[in-house]
Amino acid sequence: MCNGPECRHNALPRHSRNWSGPFRKTPGRLFGMGFIRLYQLTASSIIGSSCRHMPTCSEYGYEAVARHGLWSGGWLTLFRVMRCGPGGTWGVDPVPETLSRPLRWYTPWRFWRVGRHTRH
């Protein structure tokens, strides 16, 4: 590699399909993220790209598990996939930075309302 002043070898941005921010690397999170990545590399190509949201459901799941853990991120992902079907929601639906107060581990049914959009 060159070291000249106009060298741009190291200036190229590294783009990843999945979220690459900081997160605690607990066994549950690593397992969940590994499972989603395995799905992305295998079954996703068979099923096809038919997600109605941005980011896609698998990208959303990867980020949700990384940010919020296997339990909370798993519920967020499950409800997001359920909303993605026919007659469901569509559009930009990012993973929340933090989870609000009523979202507790012992009330998983409340995760259904996170990111829910209505059709116009």
In a domain, 82, yes or no: yes
Q: Which domain holds residue 69?
A: 51-86+106-114
In a domain, 72, yes or no: yes
In a domain, 44, yes or no: no
> What are the structure tokens assigned to 107, written together?
């009330």
In a domain, 79, yes or no: yes
Better-predicted residue by pLDDT, 31 or 114: 31
Is the confidence at residue 119, as pLDDT, over 50?
Answer: no
Closest C-alpha among 85, 83, 81, 89 to residue 119? 89
CA pair distance 41, 27, nearest whole angstrom: 21
Number of domains forming the structure of the chain: 1
In a domain, 55, yes or no: yes
pLDDT tens digits for range 19-64: 788 888 999 999 999 999 999 999 888 887 778 888 889 999 999 9
Closest C-alpha among 88, 26, 36 to residue 57? 36
In a domain, 92, yes or no: no
In a domain, 119, yes or no: no
Residue 112: DSSP 8-state: G
Is the confidence at residue 105, as pLDDT, over 90?
Answer: no
